[in-house]
Structure 1
Amino acid sequence: MSRRKLGQLEAEVLAVLAGADGFLSPNDIGDRLAGGAAYTTVNTILFRLLDKNMVDREKRGRAYVYRLTADEPGLAAERMFGHLRLAHNPSAVLSQFVHGLNPKEEEALRALLDETEGQR
């Protein structure tokens, strides 16, 4: 199994929690991650997210379960803005981003841009 990029596992855990209807255990989260992840690794990520006030936890029996409390789309957008603001050439970054989209993502982006254009 290849190692994930810096911050990728945290983003994947956030995505799993965002797609859940309620609380999940670290084992449940690990099972839902692509390629899986060790319990201790997931637990470490959850502790970090808890420190950042991005998740909430509740004790169930002898273990803790977690749920997302942060706004996942807002968090992802803020990360993207941060990278754009730091880039020497933001246009090149956007170009790379757009060229990396799959057809479904590209269609969604086009629809959003069209919607935004109509509001101006």
Structure 2
Amino acid sequence: MTRSTTRPGELERAIMNVLWDATGPMSVREVQDALEAGTGEGRGLAYTTVMTVLDRLGAKEMVDRERDGRAFRYTPSQSRESATAELIDAALDASGDRTSALVHFARSVDPAEAAALRRALDGV
């Protein structure tokens, strides 16, 4: 199965940000608590909602899960940067003209980002 390159929903993004910012695997309850503590997005979210979204993220191969007693603990299956690169690649594919879209994007970045792109293209 290949990773999904569809754009994640708002709650999926919030959960992924929690997992990316974590120092280790997290339970559903820990993710729910972190959502509420960090952004207030967890307020009113049922435990089962967070669990369902984590299961969906697992089906999309965005998170890995490991058994911990009767529960599971979740970790991101790729870095935030890698996931972002996949979304950019999918957006370029969807544009119909990758080169034009890429040129338009390159013209929209600030000078420091442009310099980083030049270094990456030069293999530095």
- TM-score with structure 1 length normalisation? 0.64
**Distance in 1 between residues matched to 2:21 and 2:61, nearest whole Å:** 18
Equivalent residue letter for 1:76: T
Change (3 A) 1:85 1:53: closer
Task: State whether residues 106 and 114 of structure 2, in contact with CA within 8 Å, keep that contact through their aligned partners in structure 1.
Answer: no
Return the letter of the residue paired with 1:56: D
Over the matched positions of the two proteins, sequence identity in percent amounts to 33
1:89 Cα shift? 6.1
| CA distance, structure 1, for counterparts of residue 53 and residue 106 of structure 2 | 26
Query: Which residue number in structure 2 is paired with residue 27 of structure 1?
Result: 29
Partner of 2:49: 41
Cα RMSD (Å): 3.3
- Which of 85, 103, 115 aligns to 2:119? It is 115
Instruction: Name the residue aligned to 1:86.
Output: 94
Instruction: Note the residue ranges of structure 2 that are not aligned, 5 or more in a row.
Output: 1-6
Please tell me the residue identity of whatever aligns with 2:73. V
CA shift, 1:92, in A, is 6.0
Q: Give the TM-score of the pair, scaled to structure 2.
A: 0.63
Count of aligned pairs between the two proteins:
111
* Bigger relative contact order (CA 8 A; separation at least 6): 2
